[in-house]
């Protein structure tokens, strides 16, 4: 029976089926073990023994997984909110300057494109603002409910917050408006601002009474740039309090989940680095020829100042590159071999 015969193919398929069933059983066993918190060292070792995909699946059954994902979601949406604010400001600043009659047609076409871009970024920013509110409600039970509400009312103006949420509903669900802009002179160079006509906004948007009351003293032209800039500062203050507060009072299930995940990542990271370094060693790669790809100029200078091929030098290189603390003593010995620590030349 050759390796390409039908019989060999059948045996191979049977082996794959058996191995898949074995992996599934082991994944289920580890998943069940992970539900008992705190996890033992034995359970974490069993988690590491799974393949990366199976280990990730097993970890999703950990009782701290859901809460940790909620926290990560708030952190991610906060980053998206910040990026959307920067992109909106950049889009607004790209409105073209007035020119001569000869350039009017080209300028009007550019204005239309920029207006579309501004509305796209406004769409993203207001959507992120609303989603951030929704996500924060999902983690409010991780801090004191009284503190959460007290801080929220301390930082945000209720009517301003409602206006921003109503703007989001208008932009996302009701009507699209052409972006208008004006130059604002406030000492130094003038800046471009995105504005909306108040009467048009009132006519076309279903604003709540609280939002209308907040709009009233803002004038006939609503400076959306100023409104969202001020709101974003309050977002930073609130989440600058909320996220550290959550971290300071993490439930034991979340701390245990993170410990399990870190253990798993470090283990699989060591296996990957061990395999790669052994492969490079077999190919007789000189690691010193590639340091410039991974170290900053200052780190390279500090490396050159240490004794060549010394343990101290290689330890420094590892410290620069191992941001996740993956390297253990076994992997360190392999890295020493790769760099030929102790050898001349």
* pLDDT, tens only, 141-179: 999 999 999 999 999 988 988 988 888 887 766 665 655
Q: Which residue has the higher pLDDT, 2 or 55?
A: 55
Considering the domain architecture, whether residues 228 and 258 belong to the same structural domain is answered as no
Taking residues 71-81, what's their average pLDDT? Answer: 97
Q: Which residue has the higher pLDDT, 194 or 242?
A: 242
Q: Is residue 8 part of a domain?
A: no
Q: What is the pLDDT of residue 137?
A: 93
Considering the domain architecture, whether residues 105 and 153 belong to the same structural domain is answered as yes
Q: Taking Cα atoms as reference points, which of 225, 214, 125, 218 lies closest to residue 179? A: 225
Q: What is the pLDDT of residue 179?
A: 56
Considering the domain architecture, whether residues 145 and 184 belong to the same structural domain is answered as yes
* Model confidence band, residue 92 (pLDDT cutoffs 50, 70, 90): confident
Q: What is the pLDDT of residue 143?
A: 94
Tally the domains of the chain: 2
Q: Which residue, chain included where needed, has tokens 């991610």?
A: 76
Q: Is residue 202 part of a domain?
A: yes
* pTM for the full predicted model: 0.82
Task: Give, in degrees to the nearest 5, the angle at Cα 75 between 90 and 248.
Answer: 140
Decide if 179 contacts 121 (C-beta within 8 A): no
Taking residues 1-16, what's their average pLDDT? Answer: 69
Taking residues 305-324, what's their average pLDDT? Answer: 94
Please give the residue range of the domain that contains residue 114: 69-233
Q: Is residue 24 part of a domain?
A: no
Poorest-pLDDT segment among 11-15, 35-39, 197-201: 11-15
Integer Cα distance of 257 and 39 in angstroms = 9
Considering the domain architecture, whether residues 222 and 283 belong to the same structural domain is answered as no
Considering the domain architecture, whether residues 202 and 291 belong to the same structural domain is answered as no
């Amino acid at each position: 029976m050759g390796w390409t015969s039908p019989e060999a193919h059948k045996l191979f398929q049977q082996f794959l089926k058996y191995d898949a069933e074995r992996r599934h059983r082991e994944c289920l066993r580890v998943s069940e073990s992970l539900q008992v918190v705190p996890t033992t060292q034995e359970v974490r070792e069993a988690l590491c023994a799974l393949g990366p995909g199976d280990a990730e699946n097993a970890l999703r059954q950990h009782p701290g997984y859901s809460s940790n994902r909620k926290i990560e979601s708030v952190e991610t949406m906060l980053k998206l909110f910040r990026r959307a604010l920067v992109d909106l400001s950049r889009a607004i600043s790209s409105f073209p300057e007035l020119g001569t009659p000869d350039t009017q047609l080209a300028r009007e076409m550019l204005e239309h494109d920029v207006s579309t871009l501004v509305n796209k970024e406004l769409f993203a920013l207001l959507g992120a603002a609303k989603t951030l509110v929704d996500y924060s409600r999902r983690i409010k039970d991780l801090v004191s409910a009284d503190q959460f509400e007290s801080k929220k009312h301390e930082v945000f103006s209720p009517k301003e917050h409602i206006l921003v949420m109503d703007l989001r509903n208008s932009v996302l669900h009701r009507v699209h408006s052409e972006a208008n802009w004006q130059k604002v002179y406030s000492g130094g160079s003038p800046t471009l601002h995105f504005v909306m006509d108040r009467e048009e906004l009132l006519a076309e948007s279903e604003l709540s009474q609280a939002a209308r009351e907040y709009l009233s003293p803002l004038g006939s032209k609503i400076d959306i740039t100023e409104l969202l800039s001020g709101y974003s500062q309050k977002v930073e203050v609130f989440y600058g309090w909320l996220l550290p507060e959550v971290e300071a009072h993490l439930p034991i299930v979340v701390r245990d989940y993170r410990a399990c995940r870190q253990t798993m990542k470090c283990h699989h990271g060591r296996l990957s680095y061990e395999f790669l370094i052994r492969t490079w060693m077999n190919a007789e790669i000189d690691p010193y020829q590639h340091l410039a790809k991974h170290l900053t100029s200052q780190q390279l200078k500090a490396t050159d100042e240490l004794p060549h091929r010394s343990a101290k030098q290689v330890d420094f290189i590892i410290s620069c590159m191992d941001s996740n603390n993956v390297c253990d003593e076994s992997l360190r010995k392999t890295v020493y071999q790769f760099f030929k620590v102790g050898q001349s030349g």
